[in-house]
A and B are shown apart, each in its own frame.
Chain A
Amino acid sequence: MADTKERKLPAPSISAETQAYWDAAAKGKLLVRKCTSCGEAHHYPRTICPFCFSDKTEWIEASGKGTIYSYSVMRRAPVPYAMAYVTLAEGPRMVTNIVDCDFDKLRCELPVRLVFRPTDGGPPLPMFTPA
């Protein structure tokens, strides 16, 4: 089963804390929040590090490379889609979708690369496709 039909994606709600993330997405870039105190990157992004509670966090640009940690193809939807967690090369695992792929050939640990998909009136969503 291939991903051919287009899903309508809702726009994410944006706060001042995450504005930069979505501004970057609009330019085709995926940002990750990294702590300069403990050196750990995290996702979803926060100003205060969830590992050491330092407020010394900054944006870094992700390479866009990752692997599928787990996935599930939602068959009971008007347009079936592949829900996934992708492990970014920078460390954190993020909730996302796998697109432009043969759903039946997906597997855990498959290498993937970053793509973006437009939303309904908002910034595009970072998603992944087999590398």
Chain B
Amino acid sequence: MSIKGKAYIAGIYEHPTRLAKDLSLAQIHAEVAKEALEDAGLTKDDVDGYFCAGDAPGLGPMSMVEYMGLRPRHVDSTDTGGSSYVLHVGHAAEAIAAGKCKVALITLAGRPRAEGMATGTVPRSRGGTPTPDEPFEFPYGPTVVNMYAMCAMRHMYEFGTTAEQLAWIKVAASHHAQHNPHALLREVVTVEDVVNSPMISDPLRRLDCCVITDGGGAIVVVAPEIARSLKRPKVKLLGASEFIKTQMGGKVDLTYSGARFTGQAAFAEAGVKPSDMKYVSIYDSFTITVLMQLEDLGFAEKGKGGRLVADGNLISGVGKLPFNTDGGGLCSNHPGNRGGLTKVLEAVRQLRGEAHPAVQVKNCDFALAHGTGGSLGLRHGSATVILGRE
């Protein structure tokens, strides 16, 4: 069984806030759910499937189903970090195809800024029963940024990737963010700005890193007969895949991500290839994340991603592969340190023709959204969806 054509994305919403001091976590989940359902033309009582991840308060579905007054007959709280919501789109389509629900709601919310969290530079122990890896990692000081930095360091060593090539990824994101009134960073930056920004963890500098923001978003995935009854442009799910990449018992290889497997599987299911994509949403916790995923998804040969991303090739209207036209996590929004959901949102806007006119891709009929959650350098969950306009 394939999910191809068995589900549609009917509603989306991205919370405009980037600093949510006066909102509770549950409240943000509910606000984005309400707006995404209104975008679709559906109501709370139509929802019979609910999806959330580790950002939801308490035991996820139980707390949020009660808070929002839902009555789902299917729930899923699979947590693969920031990629969870891309994975949830695939799982929602599976549940719809199996007849387990018809209107699936996916929500995300987070308040790391309001809570004063040191997101990227402080090692974090999860508390409770330690994970089996923790004694062999946590005492050494792994942080979000230094583990991604080690991927960049090895990529540079093996393939000659340069800091300037990585910088182009931030430059492209900033060109897009200038048109997004909600983006945290709207200033256009240059390659020089990026490579001269303060070093955080070699070789990644401050402008190689994504923003830290509060906020959230929601997606409504529906059965084909529901999509046909609604007034919004139809965005069809064509392929979906997920993978967990680990240290493989000590055979760790930092030069590739799980996207190597999810891209291949999602493209095969969709019956399309990378060159058919008019727009791509690529998880952008750091510049290196984008470069490695683009290679792994098949947009460049392994090791040649640097050439693909350089010279404005990712800028909409300028280059051949427009990416993250909302400004992405690098400039606009990374709600709750989990950027997967917003990747799906901008892909849907592009396919609907509802992106900002300055960045809207012409005749956008196929788009891809990809997420990486956890740590690229330790263990991560990858998820890819391929979407088409109908």
Q: Measuring CB to CB, which residues of chain A are less than 8 angstroms from any residue of chain B?
A: 7, 9-15, 18, 22, 40-44, 46, 49-51, 69-77, 81, 83-85, 88, 91-97, 107-109, 119, 125, 127
Contacts and interface: CB of A to CB of B under 8 A. Distances in A.
Contacts of B135: 12-15, 18, 22, 44
B250 A70 contact: no
10 contacts: A9-B140, A10-B139, A13-B130, A13-B134, A44-B132, A72-B203, A83-B147, A83-B150, A108-B154, A108-B157
Given A85-B254, A108-B157, A11 B139 contact: yes
Nearest to A51: B249
Contacts of B203: 72
Nearest to B248: A50
A81 B252 CA distance: 21
Given A74-B121, A85-B252, A93-B252, A125 B139 contact: yes
B318 interface: no
B254 A50 contact: no
Contacts of A70: 150-151, 153-154, 157, 254
Contacts of B153: 70-72, 108
Given A69-B154, A84-B150, A76 B140 contact: no
Interface string B176-203: 0000000000000000000000111111
Shortest Cβ-Cβ A-B pairs, 3 listed? A92-B250, A72-B149, A12-B135
Interface of B: 121, 125, 130, 132-143, 145-147, 149-154, 157, 198-204, 247-252, 254, 378
B309 to A, nearest CB: 21
A43 B250 contact: yes
Contacts of A49: 249
Contact of A77 (B121, B154, B247, B252): B121
A50 B252 CA distance: 13
A28 B356 CA distance: 61
B134 A94 contact: no
Given A11-B139, A13-B130, 17 more contacts: A9-B139, A12-B138, A50-B249, A70-B151, A70-B157, A72-B204, A74-B201, A75-B201, A75-B202, A76-B121, A83-B141, A83-B142, A93-B250, A93-B252, A95-B136, A96-B140, A97-B140
A81 B337 CA distance: 24
A43 B249 contact: yes
A73 B254 contact: no
Contacts of A12: 134-136, 138-139
A80 B13 CA distance: 41
A51 B248 CA distance: 8
